[in-house]
Amino acid sequence: MSDPAPSERLAVRKTYKLYVGGAFPRSESGRTYEVTGHDGAFLANAALASRKDARDAVVAARKAFPGWSSATAYNRGQVLYRVAEVLEGRRDQFAADVAAAEGVGPADAAGIVDAAIDRWVWYAGWSDKVHQVRGSSNPVAGPYFDFSVPEPTGVVAVVAPASPLLGLVSVLAPVIVTGNTCVVVADRRAPLPAVTLAEVLATSDVPGGVVNLLTGDATEVAPWLASHMDVNALDLAGVVDADLAADLERSAAENLKRVVRPPDAGHDWAADPGLARMTAFLETKTVWHPVGV
């Protein structure tokens, strides 16, 4: 008697959720949308974030801000470096996600992942150096010490660019390395690398609430973040519609948010990032202290 033919194995489908306050909730609206690869093939269902999800993410980011901003720069650098370590360990998974999202070959996908890992390490190294670059001891006429000290802005809302891993890392890492917390709206077209990155953040010593990630439609969620009175700054890296960008800037003016405008079309996220994205979300505090006291 011959052995029965083996049955075809059913794949274990992954449920992609939001990342808020260190947990992975579904959207409170219960909505999802289909994510397809560069070739149009179905990849997964992702959560479609709502206004309520955005509010919850801001609450989580604000709650995490005091602890994260008061951590030592050295400690924040260690945490970011740990993210790079975990990313390195899941390199193949990220390469597969990037290949499906961007339609590139295995070698190019691996190169993008390597660049994203290197970008984390680069920003981790700046954690205890940016204050020396931006801070100063000011010459004053009088018996005083006068120091200018950079401090984090607060809660930053980020609309991530269409580069789903390297671009995302390039706008996320500079926000948190200086002590800010954030709410990130992932690129709608290719959110899966971002959600997988959230899993890395959740298992690599990043405190819950420091990074909160929403998937869905930026045109629906971003206006609420721009007008939210507890959001201190806005990064429009992923906004390609000029009218939407202008509307978001007007909403941000309601409570004097600092706004970083979208980069030029065709911006190369693999280029040297410089310090601009770190310094954009720093405020300068000047401290006077009498000499001899």
Is 20 within a domain?
no
By the 8 A CB rule, do 178 and 210 touch? no
Question: Token pair for residue 285?
Answer: 């505090």
Inside any domain, residue 13 = no
AA identity, residue 203: T
Lowest mean pLDDT among 1-15, 32-46, 219-233, 261-275: 1-15
pLDDT over 70 at 4, yes or no: no
Determine the pLDDT at residue 247: 96
Instruction: Please state the pTM of the whole predicted model.
Output: 0.92
What distance in Å separates the CA atoms of residue 292 and residue 247, rounded to the nearest whole number?
Answer: 52
Residue 193 falls within a domain, yes or no?
yes
In this predicted structure, what is the pLDDT of residue 131? 84
Mean pLDDT for the stretch of residues 204-226: 96
Evaluate whether residue 10 is within a structural domain.
no
Distance CA 155, CA 184 (A): 11
Q: Residue 128's Cα: distance from chain center in Å?
A: 20
Is residue 5 domain-resident? no
First to last CA, the chain: 96
Report the alpha-carbon distance of residue 138 to residue 194 in Å, rounded. 42
Mean pLDDT score of the chain, rounded to an integer? 92
Q: If 0-12 CB within 10 Å is exposed, 13-18 middle and 19+ buried, where does residue 252 land?
A: buried
Number of Cβ atoms within 10 Å of the Cβ of 100? 22
Share above pLDDT 90 across residues of the chain, in percent, rounded to a whole number:
80
**67-89 pLDDT, tens per residue?**
999 999 999 999 999 999 999 99
Q: Flag whether 11 is in a domain.
A: no
Q: Nearest Cα to 97, choosing from 21, 200, 227?
A: 200
pLDDT value of position 1: 55
State mean pLDDT over 182-196. 95
Query: What is the number of structural domains in the chain?
Result: 1
pLDDT for residue 285: 82
Whether 6 is covered by a domain: the verdict is no
pLDDT at residue 2 in the model = 61
Say what the pLDDT of residue 6 is. Answer: 62
Mean pLDDT confidence for 169-192 = 97
Give yes or no for residue 256 having a pLDDT over 90.
no
CA 125 to chain CA centroid, Å, is 18
Structure tokens at 211: 């990074």
Q: Identify whether 12 is part of a domain.
A: no
Provide DSSP, 177-197.
HTT-EEEEE--SSS-HHHHHH
Looking at per-residue pLDDT, the higher value among 132 and 24 belongs to 24
**Looking at residue 284, which CATH number applies to its domain?**
3.40.605.10
Q: Does 235 have pLDDT greater than 70?
A: yes
CA gap 23, 199 in Å, rounded: 10
Give me the domain span that covers residue 133: 32-290
